[in-house]
Structure 1
Amino acid sequence: MQASYWHEKWQKGETAFHQFKGSPLLKTHFPELGLPELSRLLVPLCGKTRDIAWLVANGHHVVAAELHEPAVIQLFKDMEVEPKVMHLDKFDLIHYQAMVDELTIDVYVGDIFQLTPTLIGRIDAIYDRAALVALPLDMREKYTLHMRELTGAAAQLLISFDYEQHLLPGPPYCVDAGEVASHYGEHYVVSQLASEDVVGGLKGKLKANEEVWLLKKKT
């Protein structure tokens, strides 16, 4: 999947994955991570998600990554925050940074695989609502490895979809319980927190379940 695919989606306004009021599943299940205030959360492929504002409002620092820069500009505009913008030529990334009530928001624009542990610093947990399911299978394998190495296998709150993949092309792609286990089972204790029908069907066409997973590093 090429970057041009996502740029075109944004330019055409084909962003049904964006939730204007944020994710209700995040609000319901976030406490399961058991994080203290001032934790640092990584939000991969963040788009212009309102979930970042919610995480900050609940006392946490946010590090995020997004390919499409106009989405990041809109994210900060929606939050009514003026970020500092820095070009990281060494990594071919653009770094948007802002502070809200002494909490930092760092959003890196560009290829998420350019992120390094040294660049982004300590991460206490990952919130993945629309990243894993946005990627085709070959990229999902690369992505899950990268997230583990990037964060030292930090805990994750993961949201995925389960449906008959052959009946509807992704994204979002079907990532069922078996695939979640194959990606994460070796390094994490995997717990399913919820499985809910997608109201109206996925893309208004197909019955699907939206599932919430808690991943905790094995000790």
Structure 2
Amino acid sequence: MMGRCVGFLLPFLASIITSDASVSTLGESAQSVVLQQDVTIDSGFIVIRAQTRSPVQVQRAWQVLTDFDGLDRFLPSMDSSIVVDRSDTAWTVQQVFTTRLVLPWTFRTRLEFIGDPARGRLHFRQVSGSLHDFTGTWTISPGSTPSEVIIDYQARARMRQPIPGFILRYIVQHHLADMLEALALELVAEPAPVALGVVKKADSPDGWHRSSPD
């Protein structure tokens, strides 16, 4: 189905990509700077490399990146993100995200995250899901001052369906730009209050279970 849709849209997509292949950078309001933002196709894999500098402490960056139940609150393409299992430094997270380019494409994936707080690293890999392969690492490093961090993101993904590389690159470039901007804004935002009586559950229709008042 996706292959037929891509074939139908190829002329239109080509005209968009030819006329505007730029990727937006973070706005001044985000108070962050993009140091690197690259998307390449290598032997069928989508290779992503990104790095930003943000005016927050390491602890705040780690808190945001590991708030897996809250990712769908600020990431524009994330429909749901639910922790289904966890230990002290490991999480299994069920995610649904939709990327939009003329038509919406929805992906479901279950990821295993392994945290290494001492080194500021968060590794992940897909356990099951819509993608053929998906692995990567977030790395948080101190910046030039105690109130500044460098966040490095590297990932490799491979689709199950054959999609032309130039289309994949275009989609992922814009997806990455949106993610970096949303992350930058969340890092400097006030922490969101926890809603009482509302608990996320993977088995509910909308990902939420609302408990009855006592």
Superposition TM-score tier, normalisation by shorter sequence: under 0.3
Higher relative contact order (CA 8 A, sep 6+): 2
Tell me the TM-score normalised to structure 1 length: 0.25
More strand by share: 2
TM-score by structure 2 length?
A: 0.25
